[in-house]
Amino acid sequence: MRRAAVAIVKLTSCSGCINEFLYTIASYPELLRSVSIVHATEFQDLNTLEDIDVALVEGSVVTQHQEELVKEVRSRARTLIAIGTCATFGGIQAGRVGEDLRKVILASYPNPDFISALPDVKSLDRVVKVDFNLSGCPVNGDALARLLVKVILGGSEVPIAESVCSECKRVGVLCVMVSRGVPCLGPVTLGGCGAICPRFGRGCYGCYGLNTTVVDGERLARFSEVLEKVGMGRGDLEAFLKYFSFSALTKIRVRE
């Protein structure tokens, strides 16, 4: 069988999801026999973006150059998978969107003229067509391995979008919000993490992004009232949503 050409592309991010891919190939080394990594600057010297079967893209688009790069990758890739919360929702760097860009840069760098950045932070689907969105901060490496194998073998999409609550129920974790009054974003957040925060006795802070298949503006507004009663103010909720669900917020707004 011809090896599938896989390209790993990094935009604005921390490389955490790419390292999950590294974990993926460390735990499933046989994958290296069915894929050929044609582009991954973190692991190899020779890199090309010629003819790609599967492009895994980490990070969000914040510069003109990245916008062009991701369009080029799209035009050469049969399948494009956005990996991680930055690629699927914009990521934590979206926290500065809406602020005066020059002020942001000036507060950070002594000489702002050396720094170029766009005012917006874009998830991939705002720039190109994305075949699969696999969110998570970081993305779950096991899920990535399974999706990769499925895509290589030509499997079809199974549209499941659960919230973290489902995972708590499955592993038998007592609801931290109901039983102990700990603020938890689990009800509105995409699952896939295995409910790790509630399992460690703390509330979810939403790092897999808003589950927009079940949450709309109305429900989010009502949920924010519940959170307020257990001690998480509206401003703090909005900050977390901006960090981990930014691109979803253009569709869903917390009702004023």
Partner 1 sequence: MRMLQGLLTRVEGEGEVVLRTENGKMVGVEVRISEAPRFFEYIVRGRRYVDVPDLVSRICGLCGVSYVVTACRAFENCFEIEVPEYEEELRMAVLGAERVKSHVIHVAYLNLPDLIGLGSIGELFESYTHLFQSASKIVLWARKAMEILGGRFHNVVNIRIGGVYSFPSSEKVRALSRDLNEILNDFEGLARFVLGLRSISEEVHKLRYMATACSGSYCWASNKLVLDDGTYFGVESFENYVLTEQVSYSNALRYRLVTGEPYLVGPIARYNNYMKYLREEVRELLEEFGWNRELRGVYQSVVARIAETYNTLLELRDFLSSYRERTVSSPPKVSRVRGPCVAVTEAPRGILYHRYLLDDNLRVRSSNIITPTAQNLACMEYLIEGKLYGSALDSKAVEVAKSLIRCFDPCISCSVHVSRVEIPAGTTRT
Query: Toward partner 1, which CB reaches closer, 65 or 222?
Result: 65
Count CA within 13 A, CB hemisphere, residue 126.
20
Find out whether 124 and 130 touch, Cβ atoms under 8 Å: yes
Q: How far apart are CA 209 and CA 247, in angstroms?
A: 9
The residue among 201 and 217 lying less far from partner 1, judged by its C-beta, is: 201
> Interface mask (CB under 8 A) for partner 1, residues 109-128, using x and -?
xxx--xx-x-----------
Nearer to partner 1 (CB atom), residue 95 or residue 254 = 95
167 belongs to the binding site for partner 1 (CB under 8 A): no
Is residue 147 within 8 A of residue 137, CB to CB? The reply is no
What would the x/- binding string for partner 1 be over residues 136 to 155, using CB under 8 A? -xx--x--------------
Binding status of residue 48 toward partner 1 by CB under 8 A: no
Residues 224-253: x where in contact with partner 1 by CB under 8 A, - otherwise, as a string: ------------x--x---x----------
Q: Which of 29, 154, 159, 172 binds partner 1 (CB under 8 A)?
A: 29
Q: How far is the CB of 113 from partner 1 (least distance, A)?
A: 8
Contacts of 117 (CB under 8 A, 6+ apart): 62, 63, 101, 105
SS3 120: coil
From candidates 150, 202, 219, 234, binder to partner 1 by CB under 8 A: 202
Cα–Cα dist 151/168, whole Å: 29
| Closest CB 95 distance from partner 1, rounded Å | 4
- What CA–CA distance (Å, rounded) separates 81 from 17? 12
The interaxial angle of helices 141-153 and 16-27, nearest 10 deg, is 70
DSSP string across 188-251? GBB--S-SHHHHTTS----TT-B-TTT--HHHHHHHHHHHHHTT--HHHHHHHHHHHHHHHHTT
Tell me the C-alpha distance between 120 and 217, whole Å: 22
How far apart are CB 232 and partner 1 at their closest, in Å?
10
Burial group, residue 201, by CB count within 10 angstroms (0-12, 13-18, 19+) = exposed
Q: Which stretch binds partner 1 (CB under 8 A): 146-154, 162-170, 197-205, 212-220?
A: 197-205
- Which listed range, 61-69, 122-130, 161-169, 208-216, lies at the site for partner 1 (CB under 8 A)? 61-69
Residues that bind partner 1 (CB under 8 A): 10-20, 22-23, 25-27, 29, 32, 36-37, 41-47, 62-63, 66, 91-93, 95-96, 99, 104-105, 107-111, 114-115, 117, 137-138, 141, 193, 196-197, 199-202, 205, 207, 236, 239, 243
